[in-house]
Copies of this chain bind each other. A is one copy, B any other.
Amino acid sequence: MAQDHQPQNLSDQPSSGKPLRIGLAGLGTVGAGMIRLLDTNADLIRARSGRELRIVAVSARDRAKDRGVDLSRFAWEDDMTVLAARSDVDVVVELVGGSDGPALVLARNTIAAGKGLVTANKAMIAHHGMELAKAAEAAPAQLKFEAAVAGGIPVVKGLREGTAANAIERIYGILNGTSNYILSTMEATGADFADVLAEAQAKGYAEADPTFDVEGIDAAHKLSILSGIAFGACIDFDSVDCEGIACVRAADIAQADTLGYVIRLIGMADVEIGADGTQRLLQRVKPCLVPKLHPLAHVTGATNAVVAEGNFSGRLLFQGAGAGDGPTASAVVADLIDIARGETSAPFSVPVSEMIPMPPAGSGNRAGRNYLRFTVTDRPGVLAEITAAMRDADVSIESLIQQGAAAAGGEVLVAMVAHEGPERNIAHALELLDASPNFTAAPLVMQIISG
């Protein structure tokens, strides 16, 4: 039986032409999309894979639900975790979601059985990717998760393989379509966050509970996975410095526009090498100012885009649909084709044993240009208080705009751009202002991405 399901074995290489038999867990929009894709593109996939990709068994919560695809041709399992044990299944596709629970049990069972696992589950890979990859390397079995990052964009492949010759100096990008839709709609309409979110929810572009998207958690899941591949760093989701977009106001977008920028939720990671040679991993997901001439400034709506800067390749950009049943199914099936073709290599590009545990880098060491916004009560002396704190913390102000209140005593917005300088100075300035009774909301600091 081992001969029968291990795609690593030469007897299962393309030339043999045996079907790759798939167990599919999860029949939501992506699962149904994958079935439609395999039906629609069957001939070309067989030509490209050298063999048929054949779903043999499926599992989901509700058997009766109409999903618009014919399921009668597949075996049904009520318990998805059983799919891994079926002797007629070579590879399991997990489209259930959730970092733990049945998805994780299924993943562990599949790999333990020496079978390939293809998943779109970013939370599971962000939390348990190292464990699963280690098990997969030992089995050996394949673990692939292109669909977990940036939907239909082949960026996992781009980093694992396309830029494999490079030391990656930095990765950054737009990793959450919902947040980008909201920010670019705010930009186009001048509306405030809450209104655009409500509209996006009404249209089905945002979840009823939008926390994962608008708080940056979804982007952080994806970023931590990309960091593992790009830098060979042990995945460390918990250390992602994460801030959402709820703090961004229409007025910030207007100010940014005046200054020549747009605001995007950017996931960014790089490695800092200390004097003692220790590698520290900086991972942050934050709203940032992006120069209008930068390619990411033109990424609007639910589109995702990832920039990778290699020491020989220079700056590469991968852009496309970050979600949706078609794009996500496209990524899942690309992984299946890789398996069918006999591709084997470490899930995170280097074996888990060679991945490096990197402590998180303190952001205070970073130097950069930053946008700072204060909302204050319209009262004499407030501007002096802010500018004094900047001076005392050695933050040099490049430009400052004060937007007057509609009425005396109302809220005033003070926005400034600080010259390039250490982030710790800005943090210090905010500490100095912390006790002030004059602020109507917490100050907002946004990094300015360099062109």
CB contact between A350 and one of B13, B47, B349 (< 8 Å): that residue: B47
CB contact between A47 and one of B232, B316, B333 (< 8 Å): that residue: B232
CA–CA, A167 and B13, complex, Å? 23
Q: Are B167 and A44 in contact (CB under 8 A)?
A: yes
A69 neighbours in B (Cβ, 8 Å): none
**8 Å CB contacts to B: which residues of A338-355?**
338, 341-346, 349-351, 354
Q: Are B161 and A311 in contact (CB under 8 A)?
A: no
CB contact between A312 and one of B154, B310, B329 (< 8 Å): that residue: B329
Question: Are A330 and B317 CB-contacts (below 8 A) given A154-B158, A157-B157?
Answer: no
**8 Å CB contacts to B: which residues of A348-396?**
349-351, 354
Q: Are B350 and A166 in contact (CB under 8 A)?
A: no
Question: Are A330 and B161 CB-contacts (below 8 A) given A41-B311, A295-B295?
Answer: no
Answer whether residue A321 sits at the interface, using C-beta atoms and an 8 A cutoff: yes
Answer whether residue A327 sits at the interface, using C-beta atoms and an 8 A cutoff: yes
Copies of this chain in its oligomeric complex:
2
**8 Å CB contacts to B: which residues of A77-99?**
none
Residue of B at shortest CB range from A355? B47
**8 Å CB contacts to B: which residues of A150-170?**
152-154, 157-158, 161-167
Q: Are A321 and B330 in contact (CB under 8 A)?
A: no
**8 Å CB contacts to B: which residues of A49-96?**
49-50
CB contact between A161 and one of B50, B329, B337 (< 8 Å): that residue: B337
Report 17 cross-chain contacts, Cβ distance below 8 Å, ordered by A residue: A40-B311, A41-B165, A41-B166, A41-B311, A44-B232, A48-B349, A49-B164, A152-B312, A154-B163, A157-B162, A158-B158, A163-B330, A164-B333, A298-B298, A316-B320, A317-B317, A343-B345
Interface set of A (CB-CB < 8 Å, partner B)? 10, 13-14, 33, 37, 40-41, 44-45, 47-50, 146, 152-154, 157-158, 161-167, 232, 293, 295, 298, 305, 310-321, 324, 326-327, 329-334, 336-338, 341-346, 349-351, 354
